[in-house]
Amino acid sequence: DAMVIQNPRYQVTQFGKPVTLSCSQTLNHNVMYWYQQKSSQAPKLLFHYYDKDFNNEADTPDNFQSRRPNTSFCFLDIRSPGLGDAAMYLCATSSGQTNTEAFFGQGTRLTVV
Amino acid sequence: LAKTTQPISMDSYEGQEVNITCSHNNIATNDYITWYQQFPSQGPRFIIQGYKTKVTNEVASLFIPADRKSSTLSLPRVSLSDTAVYYCLVGRLTGGGNKLTFGTGTQLKVEL
């Protein structure tokens, strides 16, 4: 059973039109991460939440925002997508209590037209 | 966060053992070493984690020397389905760290 679920798997949006990607988890983990992965590159951390505490990476553009309304859900909002924002967006969770594994979703592939 | 260095790519044949080494000279005392595998269009998947010495599970072994400045992921008897990108991560997920930062990764290609 999927433990980190990302919807949709594929998203097409228009240049400049706000888009929201969603992530849900059934693991009750404290920490949720959002990554951007472009073709042939490693995942790049955008930000993460520890419970309700938001931690933004210094080089994450302001165009990217996130919301975590409860433990199970986390959203990635791209306010004005540009062509350069086309990528795979990965959500991940970790317990925050132990140094074990992090669990990743299948990702949402975003296309900007 | 400790920076990691891995080979960009490796080639192997089915049935061979593959060893991928990762350098992490600035590893901190509380850092763990974790390896993830990623197939195209999928999220990374945990393979193995260790702190020191040797760790073995059903899919891989992880060798960590005493100084912990490097680590080696060992995949025994690889198959075509092991073709993937392998990432070495160094850090901790507790104590306020909670960072999971990927390095460049190693593209492993397994052929017949």
Minimal-distance CA residue of chain B relative to A88: B41
pLDDT of residue B95: 57
Note whether A108 and A9 are within 8 A (CB): yes
pLDDT digits (tens, 9 = 90+) for A59-107: 999 999 999 999 999 999 999 999 999 999 999 999 877 667 889 999 9
pLDDT of residue B28: 87
Does the structure show a pLDDT above 70 at B79?
Answer: yes
- DSSP result, A26-71: SS--SEEEEEEE-TTS--EEEEEEETTEEEE-TT--TTEEEE-SSS
pLDDT of residue A96: 79
Q: Is the peptide bond before A69 cis (omega within 30 degrees of 0)?
A: no
> What number of C-beta contacts closer than 8 Å exist between A and B?
62
Does the structure show a pLDDT above 70 at B80?
Answer: yes
Q: How far is B26 from chain A (nearest CA, A)?
A: 19
Does the structure show a pLDDT above 70 at B1?
Answer: no
pLDDT digits (tens, 9 = 90+) for A11-70: 999 999 999 999 999 999 999 999 999 999 999 999 999 999 999 999 999 999 999 999
pLDDT digits (tens, 9 = 90+) for B42-54: 999 999 999 999 9
Residues of B with Cβ-Cβ distance to A101 under 8 angstroms: 34, 46, 49
pLDDT of residue B96: 56
pLDDT of residue B14: 97
Question: Which residue in B44, B46, B93 is closest to A43 by CB distance?
Answer: B44
Residues of B with Cβ-Cβ distance to A103 under 8 angstroms: 46
Residue type for position B79: S
Task: Answer with the residue of higher pLDDT: B75 or B91.
Answer: B75
